[in-house]
């Protein structure tokens, strides 16, 4: 009887936790206007087209050759200018994709959106 009561208590706790996570935990907290949305979508398409995920990680998924980019936009050591420089010229391990300025802006918009939707483990200094 004691084991059944513990099981029921744990099961009910799990159900309540699941309801909270799958309702409150998935609410969209980032509001994007129409112009920014178009830029974000173009940046996402470029990110996918050039298979950036094979070297970089987003939300903990992807390759390990390049740096993790989920919170790169808000990172004090990297940020927008740092990313623009690499997108323009490449680097030691990153190829130069010869992006035009508008493509760079679109990719930066996408990475800014990813950063805004991320739950960071980093502490703000």
pLDDT at 76: 87
81-118 pLDDT, tens digit per residue, is: 999 999 999 989 999 999 999 999 999 999 999 998 88
Q: How far apart are CA 56 and CA 65, in angstroms?
A: 7
Which domains are delineated in the chain? 30-117 (1.10.760.10)
The counts of H helices and E strands in the chain are 4, 2
38-95 pLDDT, tens digit per residue, is: 999 999 999 999 999 999 999 889 999 999 999 999 988 888 999 999 999 998 999 9
- How many Cα atoms occupy the beta-carbon half-sphere of 31 within 13 Å? 0
Q: How far apart are CA 19 and CA 11, in angstroms?
A: 12
Token pair 């609410």 is found at 27
Nearest 5°: phi and psi at 43? -65, -40
Rounded to two decimals, the pTM is: 0.74
pLDDT at 29: 73
Structure tokens at 15: 């159900």
**How many Cβ atoms are within 10 Å of 46's Cβ, its own excluded?**
18
- Under 8 Å between Cβ of 121 and 72: no
**How many Cβ atoms are within 10 Å of 13's Cβ, its own excluded?**
10
Give me the residues paired with residue 57 across strands.
62
pLDDT at 35: 83
């Amino acid at each position: 009887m004691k084991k059944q009561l513990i099981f029921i208590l744990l099961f009910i706790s799990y159900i309540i936790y699941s309801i909270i996570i799958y309702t409150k935990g998935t609410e969209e907290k980032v509001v994007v206007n129409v112009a920014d949305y178009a830029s974000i979508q173009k940046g996402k398409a470029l990110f996918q087209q050039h298979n950036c995920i094979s070297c970089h990680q987003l939300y903990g998924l992807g390759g390990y050759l390049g740096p993790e980019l989920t919170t790169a936009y808000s990172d004090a050591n990297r940020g927008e200018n740092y990313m623009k420089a690499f997108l323009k010229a490449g680097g030691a391990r990153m190829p130069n994709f010869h992006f035009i300025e508008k493509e760079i802006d679109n990719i930066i918009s996408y990475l800014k959106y990813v950063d805004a939707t991320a739950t960071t483990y980093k502490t703000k200094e």
